[in-house]
Every structure is written in structure tokens, then in C-alpha cells.
Amino acid sequence: MTTLFSDDVTIILTAGLVATACAILGVFLVLRRVALMGDAVSHAVLPGIVAVFLLTESRAPFPMIVGAALFAILCVLAIEWLRGTGLLRADAAIGLVFPALFALGVLGIHRYAGNIHLDLDSTIYGEIAFAPFRTVEIGGVLVAQSLIISGAVAIVNLALVVLLWKELKATTFDPEFSKSVGLNPTWVSRMLLVAVSITAVTAFESVGAILVVALLIVPAAAAYLLTDRLWAMVAIAVGIGWISAVVGYTGAVQADASIAGAMGVTAAVLFGVALIASPKYGLLARRIALHRRRRATRPVAAQEG
């Protein structure tokens, strides 16, 4: 029986698809100023994964997604509740809820580490290097399971964003107005975060808990520095995700280090480049514009004065 892709290609494709799924949603997290809610939700899915694992003793994707989504919803509602009490600020609410949920997950893993094939290292680092080894047969060829799952999530996220394009746009841009035309910003936001949680749980195995956050936020933030068009921002974020996948994998193999970590570092470097060299919003461009403005206004100011 033949395998569809070589191991290298499988890993890069999986990584690229995970990055795609993350970047699509990340754009809206960054624009809605809830980047850290994305962080919180992707941590909060861990106890869901562990609980499903302990209950069903399998790694079947569907129950895992349900378990993770439940905990993500719990996390979002808990943060909304804490914020609603008016007793603590939004950032403190986030910082209370997700560590608690993540801590539950870590303890769960630790307690049952002997019985389950889930350990702390893979939770943190991910196991993308093993992606080619778990395969399923489709039409006579072997395809890596992780490739199918991450592809499916990328497609679902893309479909979600395309279908809800104008709802996401309006509720993010002007929540007050969108309420008056019958849209519900709270529900759109919750839907987005549930999608983030589903993405996080499927990305968990490949890139691990914290790097999901890197792929959610960093490419989107970099894209935000590069364009004034929403669709372009999505496209650029996805592009940065793919570059991170290819370069990160190559670099990780060379240095014998974590592939997921190397992807995150690549994305961070690309963000740094955008921060400095973006043609419109980069540091250099701003410096130059400021310099020009000063030169242009100085004589005028002198005349007026």
C-alpha cells in the first residue's frame, strides 16, 4: 500500500493546515481585542481533553471536541460572569479562570499518567513529529490522520468565517450599531471562541497547548500591521502561518529541536519584521513620515509664529 505523502511533506502540510485554521480565527481575536481570550480558551480545553480521555479511554476526535468545547464555554461564561460582577477587571478575570482550568487538566494528566497515553510533554510541545505514523486508509492510499483532522478544521473555520463574514465584521467594528440591526455581538463572540476551542483541541496533539496561542495571535497581529483590508488581513495571516510551518520545520530538523516551537519562533520573527518594516505602519515608515512632516511644517510654523 502506498502512502500519499512523504513524512516531511505530511508534517509540513499538517503544520500549515493547523496554522491556517488558527490564523483565520486569530484575525478576529486580534481585531476584537480579545487575543488573550483566545489564550485563555486554548488553555481551558485541557481538562476537557483529559476528562474525555479518562471516560472513553480513546483519542477519538469527536468526543474530544465535545469535551473541549464544553470546557471552553465554561471558561468563557466564567470570565464573563466575573467581569460582570464589576469586582475585578477583565484581565484579572481571565488570569483567574484559565490557570484554574489548565491546572485541573495538568493534575488529571499527572494523576493518571500511567493509564493514559497522554503526557505533559506532548501537551506542551505537541507531537507533530509523530503525525506521519498514525494513518488511515482512503481509497487505497494511506493518509495521516492528523492531516485529515487539521484539514477538516481549517475548512470548517474558513466556512464559518465566510458564512458569518458580515456578522463578524459588523459586530467587531461597531457593536452598538450591530445590536440595532438585530445582530448579537455576545453570541457572535461566543461562537468565535467555541471555534477557537475546537481548533485548539485538534491542534493540541500536533503543536501543543501554548503554541496554539502563538499561531492564533502572532500571524494575525503581524498581518494587522501590513494591511487595511479585512480579507487581505486574513490572507496575509494564513500566508505567515504557512511560511512558519515550512521554515519552522526545516529549522527544527537542523537544530534538533521542537518543531512546534520553531514554528512559533519563525512566526515571531516575521512579526518583528512586519513591526519594523511594514510599508505603512512599520517603525521605519513612521519614522520617515514623521521626519518628512517635521521638515515640511517647520518653515510654515516659522512663518505663522
User: Quick check: 4 binds other proteins (CB under 8 A)?
Assistant: no
User: Quick check: 54 binds other proteins (CB under 8 A)?
Assistant: no
> Nearest approach, Cβ of 231 to other proteins (angstroms)?
9
User: Quick check: 293 binds other proteins (CB under 8 A)?
Assistant: no
Question: Of 7 and 91, which has the nearer Cβ to other proteins?
Answer: 91
User: Quick check: 120 binds other proteins (CB under 8 A)?
Assistant: yes
User: Quick check: 286 binds other proteins (CB under 8 A)?
Assistant: yes
Q: Where are the beta strands (DSSP E) in the chain?
A: 2-3, 135-138, 141-144
148-187 footprint of other proteins as x/- string (CB under 8 A): ---------------xxxxx-xx-xxxxxxxxxxxx----
For residue 78, give the nearest of 60, 95, 53 by alpha carbon. 95
Site for other proteins in 190-209 (CB under 8 A): 208
Query: What is the separation of C-alpha 85 from the centre of its chain, rounded to a whole number of angstroms?
Result: 29
User: Quick check: 77 binds other proteins (CB under 8 A)?
Assistant: no
Using CB under 8 A as the binding criterion, the count of chain residues that bind other proteins stands at 88
User: Quick check: 284 binds other proteins (CB under 8 A)?
Assistant: no
Question: Of 60 and 232, which has the nearer Cβ to other proteins?
Answer: 232
> Nearest approach, Cβ of 296 to other proteins (angstroms)?
19
CA distance 198 to 97: 19
User: Quick check: 70 binds other proteins (CB under 8 A)?
Assistant: no
List strands edge to edge, sheet with 2-3.
Answer: 2-3, 141-144, 135-138
Per the listing, cell 506542551 goes with: 124
Among 7, 56, 66, 111, binds other proteins (CB under 8 A): 111
Site for other proteins in 24-53 (CB under 8 A): 30-31, 33-36, 38-39
CA distance 146 to 198: 14
Among 124, 148, 158, 235, binds other proteins (CB under 8 A): 124
- The distance in angstroms from the start CA to the end CA of the chain is 84
CA distance 95 to 82: 11
Query: What cell does 76 get?
Result: 468563557
Cβ distance 215 to 203 under 8 Å? yes
User: Quick check: 11 binds other proteins (CB under 8 A)?
Assistant: no
Site for other proteins in 206-265 (CB under 8 A): 208, 210-211, 213-214, 216-218, 220-221, 224-225, 227-230, 232-233, 252, 255-258, 260-265
User: Quick check: 275 binds other proteins (CB under 8 A)?
Assistant: yes
Helix/strand/coil for 191: helix
CA distance 124 to 208: 5
Q: How far is the CA of 229 from the CAs of 14, 27, 223, 272, 283, in angstroms?
A: 28, 12, 10, 21, 20
Among 110, 117, 134, 291, binds other proteins (CB under 8 A): 110
